[in-house]
Amino acid sequence: MKRVLSLLALASPLVVGLFRGASTGWNDLRYLWMAVVAVAATIGLRAILPRQRRALAATAMFAAITVLVAATAWLLGARHPVGVGLVSISYGLACAGSLVFATLD
């Protein structure tokens, strides 16, 4: 069950990106690219962060992914700080939640 919850949390940014892309007629893929960056960073960080210190690892993952997603949004042309912040924080929370679910006892 914890593995399923972890995968659902990790897939949620991709689902949001796909819905956003489909709703714009595949003209605006920024959400999808930000989701790809978030998932790739999550996979990489899960390999190097310690499993024993779940709270510290989840906090570090949240901070790193939030910054990476915000930088990706900025590079893709997003300039509204509130929108970039909300999407970055939500993607960071989803990816950190994936780590928490994966390491539950």
- Per-residue pLDDT tens over the stretch 68-96: 999 999 999 999 999 999 999 999 999 99
CA 17 and chain centroid, separation: 11
The answer to whether the Cα torsion of 93, 97, 98, 103 is positive or negative is positive
Tens digit of each residue's pLDDT (9 = 90 or more) over 33-56: 999 999 999 999 988 887 778 888
Residue 97 and residue 1 in contact, taking contact as beta carbons nearer than 8 Å? no
pLDDT of residue 41: 95
pTM for this entry: 0.93
Please provide the average confidence, as pLDDT, over all residues in the chain.
94
Instruction: Compute CA distances 57 → 33, 60, 62, 72, 86, whole Å.
Output: 24, 5, 9, 22, 22
Answer yes or no: is pLDDT of 61 > 90.
Answer: yes
Separation CA 14–CA 36 (nearest Å): 7
pLDDT of residue 17: 96
